[in-house]
């Protein structure tokens, strides 16, 4: 055989045919070199295509792309609104700002009425903030449209129904009671009508 078509067995060192996968001398496996394997060739092609694509497409900068005029106007308005956005806690005392953040956390976790949230923030068994600080915080949450009390009442009503049986009247009473959730009568009635079937 021609020497160009021979290779050395990796296990015993004998000269074997380049196409042999198993050495006839020792039985050891002699796979193709990595650069001759199909998956390696495909990987090289993909890398090459990626490099060519990066150089070919790199000439156009994101700022060079023409954007629809409407999109530009919307983007400008959005940027102006972002710069005009004011931190609601900027004019608050530290206690009020902390109560504000605590109030948002409570609203993320469970349903509260406005009065119920103020009580939770100001109660000795809750967070212990001054009642005035709790009111400022909850009013700021409300003024920044970060809460919908009707939705909170609906969520509370559904939570009650999911855990225990209530008649409509009992559920309304629970939602509006000062020992319950402290929703207004209107909020309680609307919530019960929406969830009670």
Average pLDDT of the residues of the chain: 81
133 with 155, same domain? no
Query: Within a domain: residue 69?
Result: no
Whether residue 126 has pLDDT greater than 50: yes
User: Which residues form the domain of 171?
Assistant: 148-197
The predicted structure's pLDDT at residue 7: 79
pLDDT reported for residue 3? 47
* One domain, residues 119 and 137: yes
Q: Based on the domain organization, do 154 and 139 belong to the same domain?
A: no
Token pair listed for 53: 């694509």
* pLDDT interval class at 30 (50, 70, 90): low
Give the pLDDT of residue 2: 46
d(CA 145, CA 153): 16
Which CATH number fits the domain that encloses residue 160? 1.10.10
Residue-level pLDDT at 194: 94
194 lies in a domain?
A: yes
Cα-based torsion angle of the residue sequence 65, 68, 72, 77 in order, rounded to the nearest 10 degrees: -150
């Amino acid at each position: 055989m021609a020497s160009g078509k021979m290779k050395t067995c990796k296990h015993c060192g004998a000269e074997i045919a380049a196409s042999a996968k198993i050495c006839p001398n020792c039985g050891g496996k002699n796979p193709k070199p990595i650069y001759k394997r199909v998956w390696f060739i495909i990987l090289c092609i993909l890398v090459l295509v990626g490099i060519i694509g990066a150089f070919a497409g790199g000439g156009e900068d994101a700022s060079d792309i023409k954007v629809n005029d409407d999109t530009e106007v919307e983007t400008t308005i959005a940027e102006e609104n972002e710069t005009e956005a004011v931190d609601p806690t900027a004019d608050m005392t530290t206690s009020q700002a902390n109560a504000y953040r605590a109030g948002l956390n409570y609203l993320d976790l469970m349903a509260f009425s406005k009065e119920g949230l103020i009580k939770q923030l100001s109660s000795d068994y809750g967070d212990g903030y001054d009642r005035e600080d709790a009111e400022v915080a909850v009013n700021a949450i409300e003024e920044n449209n970060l809460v919908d009390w009707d939705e909170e009442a609906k969520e509370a009503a559904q939570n009650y129904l999911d855990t225990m049986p209530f008649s409509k009247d009992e559920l309304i009473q629970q939602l509006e009671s000062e020992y319950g959730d402290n929703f207004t009568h209107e909020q309680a009635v609307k919530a019960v009508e929406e969830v009670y079937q």
